[in-house]
């Protein structure tokens, strides 16, 4: 990775909302954004967020770098996005701590400040502004716990970037759109979050103006808007007013209604963004800027335009849950504040549609189920095997009392064992292991059935079964020995494994076909028949020409077949102890 020089000056990102005169592209049509959310790998996403936090300071010192964020590559892989003014920014790393870096040309981001007409009550998204600015957008009607009604928008729209005084007028439409008379007053500046222009971290650009319901509506226009937003913010299942998981915002489809571009659709393509935002430009040079952290990036570029500052961004679905407050952008991207931070700062909520009532509590169901009985498909008569029985509480009620689970051999009509479960909370499970001795078992298929004696609401899953075949010991075959050797062949080496098959009395057996699996792909032999090369119950599998970079290779016996015989892998063994009778490792010489 190229070194990042800390002496290089920070690049500057311009604020959205500086004024309508700085934005010349207007669009009244809806822009359709992507509809499919990408699949997120949370481990990769956490690594990308950590790398972004670690290197943002150094990256922002590079000339031409205007911001960073975490987003997704076309492949769906999480990456650190570096936002640059143009394609001439060089020397950026390709990777940061193993996380890919994607460069994105955004250009200079300008402050956005029509529905431009005067209307009462004024819909969300209509023109509004402090008397000393041009115009921005009404974000939403918000209310405090006492029921007071406020206009929500940006600081640079309602409070003139800190230069206003509490009590100043909020005009609708904004001055640029003709709002200059006392009759245009829609509210009075009540509070704003001061913007730190000294280099400290800012998290949002917002202000509220005291208004009333006769002057201010709580929905976007009926003809071309999306209607009323929800009063509940997105991703707040516990109702504490804060996003439960900011990572869940990545890839979220959103929409907004604003003064200039009206109804548009987009997708959140960056989270945890850090940007330097310009609030005052003199001859194309920024002379007043502020540093912002934890911002959201939205694409495509046409999602917003000059004059859309302050617009409320909501989920692009029927619920329209608030997500962010629009405040900055460029021709390719929009920058927005987290709405949870904004609302909590002012102690207000969006005065929108009430969230749907919680679903009624589920009908109480008590249901203990035998979910599985696991045993070998075949055993040799006389062997003792373990049978695992899984018991789960699949109902929605805890079962605190004890109950018994019994495993029976339905074929021979005997009980293998009974165990007691002390109780199970809803959703919990336990595994019981029973030891089954087959010395007196009949030959052939046996049905093993597990059942419990706890009365519940669903008898259909109170038992489950497995089938096990008991074979005569006289017909059983197994692996009796595995021997591996290695040899050099110039620049390569070879692995050789000799396999011995035994009958039930551990006598070498010719004519058995063995299938094996090597742990490395290559030209090798993986099938042999015992006795085919004159060996006494043995056959050989060979892996020639292994590269010197391969330090070891494993061979695993997959199957052994012979007419009239049954292979029992549980009997596999190796007298010299260099394997478990099933898998052997051959080490490079």
pLDDT higher than 60, residue 26: no
- Band (pLDDT 50/70/90 cuts) for residue 74 is confident
Distances in Å between the Cα of 273 and the Cα atoms of 5, 67, 100, 338 are 21, 7, 16, 11
What is the per-residue pLDDT for 38? 64
What is the per-residue pLDDT for 28? 29
**478 three-state secondary structure:** strand
Q: What is the pTM of this model?
A: 0.54
Which range (2-16, 52-66, 137-151) has the least confidence? 2-16
What is the per-residue pLDDT for 36? 60
CA distance 38 to 16: 28
CA distance 252 to 553: 47
C-beta of residue 390 within 8 angstroms of C-beta of residue 434: no
CA distance 233 to 239: 9
**323 three-state secondary structure:** strand
- Band (pLDDT 50/70/90 cuts) for residue 33 is very low
User: What are the DSSP calls for 163-214, one per residue?
Assistant: T--TT-EEESS-GGGT--SGGGEEEEEEEE-----SS-EE----EEEEE-TT
Measured at the CA of 93, the angle between CA 87 and CA 99, to 5 degrees, comes to: 120
CA distance 437 to 587: 39
- What are the residues whose beta carbons fall under 8 Å from the beta carbon of 475, sequence distance 6 or more? 504, 564, 565, 566
CATH of region 368-471, choose from 2.40.420.20, 2.60.40.10, 3.90.440.10, 3.90.1010.10: 2.60.40.10
Quick: pLDDT tens for 435-489.
999 989 999 999 999 999 999 999 999 999 999 999 887 889 999 999 999 999 8
CA distance 245 to 14: 29
pLDDT higher than 70, residue 367: yes
What is the per-residue pLDDT for 15? 35
Which range (169-173, 355-359, 518-522) has the least confidence? 355-359
Rounded to 5 degrees, what are φ and ψ at 327? -145, -15
Report cis status (omega within 30 of 0) of the bond before 173.
yes
CA distance 297 to 275: 10
What is the per-residue pLDDT for 474? 81
Q: Where do you find CATH 2.60.40.10 in the chain?
A: 368-471
Q: Look up residue 248 and give its DSSP letter.
A: G
Rounded to 5 degrees, what are φ and ψ at 424? -140, 130
Catalogue the long-range contacts made by 505-508 (C-beta closer than 8 Å, 24 or more residues apart).
Answer: 506/480, 507/537, 508/480, 508/536, 508/537, 508/538
Run of H or E residues at 343: helix 339-346
Quick: pLDDT tens for 114-126.
478 889 999 999 9
CA distance 444 to 381: 10
Architecture field, domain 475-587? Sandwich (2.60)
Measured at the CA of 284, the angle between CA 280 and CA 285, to 5 degrees, comes to: 60
Quick: pLDDT tens for 378-394.
888 888 999 999 999 99
What is the per-residue pLDDT for 286? 83
Please choose, from the candidates 177, 135, 126, the residue with its C-alpha nearest in 3D space to the C-alpha of residue 156: 135
Measured in whole angstroms, the distance separating CA 566 from the mean position of its chain's CA atoms is 48
Q: How many helices (H) and strands (E) does the chain have?
A: 3, 36
**For 107, how many CA atoms within 13 A lie in the half-sphere containing its CB?**
13
pLDDT higher than 60, residue 113: no
CA distance 530 to 470: 26
Measured at the CA of 569, the angle between CA 565 and CA 573, to 5 degrees, comes to: 110
Which range (35-44, 101-110, 336-345) has the least confidence? 35-44
CA distance 488 to 546: 9
Measured in whole angstroms, the distance separating CA 526 from the mean position of its chain's CA atoms is 42
């Amino acid at each position: 990775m190229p070194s990042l020089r800390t002496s290089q000056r920070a690049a500057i990102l311009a604020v959205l909302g500086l004024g309508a005169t700085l934005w010349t592209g207007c669009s009244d049509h809806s822009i359709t954004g992507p509809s499919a959310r990408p699949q997120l790998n949370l481990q990769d996403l956490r690594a990308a967020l950590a790398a972004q936090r670690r290197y943002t300071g150094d990256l922002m010192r590079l000339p031409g770098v205007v911001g960073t964020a975490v987003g997704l590559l076309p492949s769906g892989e999480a990456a650190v996005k570096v936002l640059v003014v143009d394609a001439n920014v060089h020397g950026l790393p390709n990777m940061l701590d193993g996380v890919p870096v994607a460069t994105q040309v955004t250009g200079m981001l300008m402050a956005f400040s029509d529905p431009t007409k005067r209307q009462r009550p004024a819909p969300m998204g209509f023109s509004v502004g402090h008397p000393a600015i041009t115009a921005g957008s009404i974000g939403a009607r918000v209310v405090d716990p006492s029921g007071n009604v406020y206009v929500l928008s940006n600081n640079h729209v309602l409070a003139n970037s800190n230069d206003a005084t509490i009590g100043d007028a909020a005009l609708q439409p904004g001055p640029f759109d003709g709002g200059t008379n006392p009759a245009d007053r829609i509210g009075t500046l009540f509070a704003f979050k001061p913007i730190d222009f000294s280099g400290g971290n800012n998290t949002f650009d917002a202000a509220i103006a005291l208004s009333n319901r006769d002057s201010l509506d709580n929905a976007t226009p009926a003809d071309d808007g999306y209607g009323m937003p929800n009063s509940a913010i997105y991703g707040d299942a516990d109702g504490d007013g804060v996003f439960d998981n900011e990572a869940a915002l990545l890839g979220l489809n959103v929409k907004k209604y604003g003064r200039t571009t009206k109804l548009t659709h987009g997708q959140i393509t960056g989270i945890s963004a850090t940007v330097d935002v310009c609030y005052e430009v003199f001859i194309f040079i920024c002379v007043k800027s502020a540093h912002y952290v934890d911002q959201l990036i939205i694409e495509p570029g046409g999602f917003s335009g000059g004059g859309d500052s302050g617009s409320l961004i909501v989920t692009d679905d029927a619920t329209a849950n608030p997500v962010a407050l629009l405040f900055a952008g460029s021709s390719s991207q929009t920058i927005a504040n987290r709405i949870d931070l904004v609302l909590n700062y002012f102690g207000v909520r969006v005065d929108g549609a009430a969230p749907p009532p919680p679903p009624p509590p589920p009908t109480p169901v008590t249901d203990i189920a035998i979910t599985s009985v696991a045993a070998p498909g075949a055993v040799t008569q006389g062997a003792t095997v373990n049978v695992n029985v899984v018991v789960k509480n699949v109902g929605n009620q805890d079962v605190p009392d004890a109950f018994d689970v019994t495993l029976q051999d339905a074929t021979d009509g005997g009980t293998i064992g009974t165990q007691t479960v002390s109780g199970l909370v809803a959703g919990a499970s336990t595994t019981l292991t029973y030891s089954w001795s087959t010395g007196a078992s009949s030959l052939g298929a046996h049905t093993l059935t597990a059942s419990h004696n706890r009365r519940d609401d669903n008898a259909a899953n109170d038992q489950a079964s497995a089938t096990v075949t008991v074979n005569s010991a006289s017909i059983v075959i197994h692996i009796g020995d595995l021997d591996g050797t290695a040899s050099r062949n110039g620049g390569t080496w070879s692995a050789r494994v000799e396999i011995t098959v035994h009958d039930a009395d551990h006598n070498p057996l010719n004519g058995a076909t063995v299938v094996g699996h090597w742990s490395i792909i290559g030209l090798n032999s993986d099938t042999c028949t015992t006795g085919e090369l004159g060996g006494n119950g043995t056959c050989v599998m060979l892996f020639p020409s292994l590269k010197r970079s391969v330090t070891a290779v494993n061979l695993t016996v997959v199957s052994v077949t012979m007419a009239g015989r049954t292979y029992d892998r549980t009997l596999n063994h190796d007298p010299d102890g260099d394997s478990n009778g099933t898998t052997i490792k051959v080490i490079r010489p």
